[in-house]
Amino acid sequence: MSSPVAHPASSASSASPVPPPALTAVVTGASSGIGRATAARLVADGWRVLAVARREDRLAELAAETGCEVLGVDITEDASVHALVGRVRECFGEDLNALVHVAGGALGVEPAAEADLEKWQRMYDINVLGTVRVTRALLPALRTSGRGDLLFVTSVAAQEAYPGGSGYNAAKAGEHMLAAALRLELNGKKVRVIEIAPGMVHTEEFSLVRLGDQERADAVYDGVENPLTAEDCADVISYALNAPHHVNLDLVTVRPLAQAAAHRVARHQGV
């Protein structure tokens, strides 16, 4: 009696399912703080990331650690943002899944009556006009993808005024309203508009850049139990971007437990 003939499985049944292509993201302000942590987190999540910032040496370190793509970009310069559009095409083709706006920052704590208008102008140029410039440049690629996300990292300063914060309040409120207007303008399109508004986050540079002195910067966090970290914020950003695309987190305000408002923070006595 002849042995049964083994029939090879069809190629359709034996082939492994083809995984979907990795999602793609541009993260601005990626040389430090929340931007750096976000770029690293998205790479760990399986995203293909193009991390951008002005400081190319910091970006090179990030690329070596994570394998992300990098490009030195000044979001306040048209030519620099034009170069970013070209690099996005080189890395990802004609479409893009997420643009994460982290570049920004605060300068000074002078009251409005003593405003340093150069600082105000710089804050507006970075937090608002720079954000608009990059959004305008990359929005076509987000729409082409069919699964686009515009994510803005603003601040509780966009929601609550506080003494010494007027310039930053105004700039971040402008960015907040930009996000709100875009959500209306893009209604019906396959682009989510997400805003993450952190409270007190202890990063190496935010308060130092704002105050210009390490001792004063350190004092901002004195006695505060567990201020947020950049990684805490990256966790929230990751959750928002990886949620099913029909789920839109319009606005997430995230603070440390010790902070009840922008100007109300619990501090341990004697610290």
Residue identified by tokens 């990802």 is 92
Tell me how many degrees the CA angle 71-73-74 measures, rounded to the nearest 5. 170
If one counts every other C-beta atom within 10 angstroms of the C-beta of residue 225, the result is 12
Give catalytic residues, as residue numbers: 168
Q: Evaluate whether 110 touches 116 at the Cβ level (below 8 Å).
A: yes
Whether 259 and 265 have beta carbons less than 8 Å apart is answered as yes
What distances in angstroms separate CA 28 from CA 17, 115, 144, 243, one per listed residue? Answer: 34, 28, 20, 21
Nearest to 53 by CA among 29, 76, 32: 29
Chain centroid to Cα 31, Å, comes to 12
What is the dihedral angle through the alpha carbons of 130, 196, 40, 106, rounded to the nearest 10 degrees? 50
